[in-house]
Amino acid sequence: MAADEANTSSASAAPLAPLPDHSDVHTAWWQELWRRHAHITTPLRQRGLMCDIEFGLSAYLVRVSLPDDSYLIISPPQEPPSDRPPGDPEGWIVTREHISDRSRLFERIYDSAPPGYPGGPQWPEARHGGSVQPLIEAIDHRLTQLGLLPSLPSSTGDPLISTTPQHPAPSHTGTADQAPAYVYGDAILALTDHLSGTASYTEVAALLHQMGDPINGLLERLADFVEAAGEKAKESEDDDGFDLSYDLADAAADIRKAGEVLYVAEDRMRALSPAPATPRSPAGPSRTPASAPPGLPLAAPRWAR
């Protein structure tokens, strides 16, 4: 998983906390779970926090190690279990825990999960559902209070995965003395330059995932943006506004189709990584087998005249 190794010399990539140190990291099933939770683990690793994926009572969760030996558990609803895919639940629960010989710590930091039964109690965060940005902000706030946040991502972090609040969009028209600003186009251009400069197919695959993920990928968000523009056109109640909304809906569908191509291309790109060379065992002296291998007939004896 070379894509997770930070390139600290690049202005377009923020340093990340290291991956967990266990053998599951190299398995396909763990890497798939890691990919599905990257929208949570990446911003936390940008903050210097080590993350891992574990199985809870009924679903996979993210475990985050903290400097004081306590840890965070970021989990979907476990009881009753969620029927949604890993990494995309209807809500998140964040707790801080620590167990020692003398004490046990359990603190609920965030809970956006729906109530466990109709009419049951729920936290104010329930309105956020499965959204990740308010979850990260709540973790930032609490860990800052406790002095347990190693670092915050710099302003040069990856624009696709940063969860820090964004400034209002600048005017695209500029002024008489200033050229138009295209901050989003410039961000993608910087990412393209970063992609062109890497020699790792695994890193390229990770960037394709950021673009083509069907839930949180850039193209999915772009399709949402185009659809929202179409809805805005409808509000004019003009005939051309309705026609424009239909055209924009078609454009959003085309963008999502492109996202599907990139989603499949991710695995194909990762498969291009050269396989590690298999070391050959040193050749030993040849030995004649004591008997013929099974299934082979013995040679007929030769009779001397």
Q: Compute the mean pLDDT over every residue in the chain, rounded to the nearest whole number.
A: 78
pLDDT at 37: 93
| Residue 194 CA: distances (Å) to CA of 11, 164, 183, 189, 244 | 9, 21, 16, 9, 36
Among 117, 109, 75, 115, which Cα is nearest to 92's? 75
Flag whether pLDDT at 168 surpasses 90: no
What is the per-residue pLDDT across 219-230, written as a single tens digit (0 to 9) for each? 888 988 998 999
The pTM is what? 0.49
Mean pLDDT along residues 226-240: 89
Higher pLDDT, 151 or 155: 151
Structural Rg of the chain based on CA atoms: 27
What is the per-residue pLDDT across 259-295, written as a single tens digit (0 to 9) for each? 888 888 888 898 888 876 666 655 555 555 444 444 4
Q: How far apart are CA 305 and CA 295, in angstroms?
A: 31
What backbone torsions phi and psi does residue 94 show, to the nearest 5 degrees? -120, 125
HSE-CB of 21 using CA atoms within 13 angstroms? 3
Question: What residues pair up with 61 in beta bridges, in sequence order?
Answer: 54
Q: Domain boundaries in the chain?
A: 1-156, 199-274
β-strands 51-55, 104-111: how paired? unpaired
pLDDT at 179: 52
Mean pLDDT along residues 54-58: 86
Pair 91, 112: CB distance under 8 Å: yes
